[in-house]
Amino acid sequence: MKQIPASLVRQILLLLLIAFIFGVLFWNLQFFLPALLGAYTLYILLRGPLFLLTERWKWNKKAAIAALMVVSFIVLLLPMFWLFGMLEDHVADLLNNSDKLLVNAEHVIQKLEEKYGVELLTPDNTKSLTDWGVRGAQGFLSATLNGLGIAISTYFILFFMLAEGKKMEQAFLDSLPLRDENVNYVQKHLHEMVWSNALGIPLMGVVQGFTGLLIYWLAGVESPWLWFAITFVSGMMPVFGVALAYIPLSLILLANGEDGKALLIFLYGVLILGSVDNIARMWVLKKIGHTHPLITLFGVIVGLKLFGFIGFIFGPILISMFILLVRIYHKEFSPQTTAGET
């Protein structure tokens, strides 16, 4: 009877032990997963400026790290906290007045039905839709409460990443159990993935948010910055996109008897915001990189559940990482590759 080689048994046992310890650590430190993703994302964005400051301009490394961390917080995270904080305040207010929200929704729909002679929703459907919105708002609110803790953890990890720099990158690449060509593939596509998700997706929201803010301000819409925040968030969503902002706003204006404003907002949304969306996506595709709309859609859904508001960025990154690992596995262990090695 042929025996299993002792070296193979030891290797399997060691891998099982590593997997077990990793599982225990992951289960107890899963809170830090979004912080780790955030730190890695910021590291990829800041590594170029860091090397420029320290190697070309001869800055002190700690001073360069401190400056980049402060600038990144002011430019990237502070506006995000402000936007989502404003949304969070309104979401909390809606939850505290959920009964009033149902009455207002029914009132708006009833006025539209009476005015235009159409049946939009039955009372039961209206209640179901409102209940669904309240549940979603509760999930959004509970998921964002740990945002400050995640931000602090992110910058704590980021400091050590920036301090180690190239040494950390090389140690990570050397530890990958892959052939050299696939290691280079991982390095290249990890960087592209982070840039396209961490910069491309929020940039879409910013462009469309300010484009929408222009018409909200000119039309005299109440709380234009709130609708800017809604347009910013919906602009990062594929498929429906900014329609999730201008269509509800148009319906509210219609119900309030502001037909001219409603028509203006709707036409502006379809003609201008829709065009801006297409142009911006083409520019992002050319200059930064492409993230498939389905990756963005499912990534946002997963990210919001796991990470709160920053899940808009980290969710798509997580799914992109999964797809990248599948591609690496195929490149490393496909029948053509293994046949070429024998």
% of the chain exceeding 90 in pLDDT: 16
% of the chain exceeding 70 in pLDDT: 73
Q: Is the pLDDT of residue 180 over 70?
A: yes
Render the burial of 47-84: b for 16+ CB within 10 Å, e for the rest: beebeebbeeeebeeeebbeebbeebeeebbeebbebb
Identify the helix (H) or strand (E) that includes residue 274: helix 274-287
Residue finishing a domain among 122, 138, 165? 165
Comparing CA positions, the residue from 184, 155, 161 lying closest to residue 76 is: 155
Residue 162: predicted pLDDT? 92
Mean of pLDDT values over 82-100: 64
In a domain, 67, yes or no: yes
Residues 58-70: tens digit of each pLDDT: 899 999 999 999 9
Residues 148 and 231 in one domain: no
108, two tokens: 């708006």
Better-predicted residue by pLDDT, 176 or 284: 176
Q: Is the pLDDT of residue 208 over 80?
A: yes
Residue 238: predicted pLDDT? 67
124, two tokens: 């039961």
Identify the helix (H) or strand (E) that includes residue 265: helix 259-268
Identify the helix (H) or strand (E) that includes residue 72: helix 61-72
CA 6 to chain centre: 47
CA 320 to chain centre: 12
Residues 194 and 71 in one domain: no
Residues 157 and 202 in one domain: no
Residues 58 and 154 in one domain: yes
Quote the domain boundaries for residue 277.
178-342
Q: Are 220 and 227 in contact (CB under 8 A)?
A: no
Question: Mean pLDDT, the chain, as a whole number?
Answer: 78
Residues 244 and 314 in one domain: yes
Residues 188 and 310 in one domain: yes
Residues 260-294: tens digit of each pLDDT: 898 999 999 999 988 887 777 666 656 666 667 77
Q: Is the pLDDT of residue 315 over 70?
A: yes
Enter the pTM of the model: 0.74
Residues 141 and 36 in one domain: yes
106, two tokens: 């029914």
E strands, 60-154, in order = none
Mean of pLDDT values over 240-267: 85
Residue 158: predicted pLDDT? 92
Residue finishing a domain among 140, 165, 190? 165
Classify the C-alpha dihedral 296-299-301-303 as positive or negative: negative
Better-predicted residue by pLDDT, 341 or 236: 236
Residues 39 and 80 in one domain: yes
What is the C-alpha to C-alpha distance for residues 25 and 30, in angstroms, rounded to an integer?
A: 8
In a domain, 77, yes or no: yes
In a domain, 246, yes or no: yes
How many structural domains are present in the chain?
Answer: 2
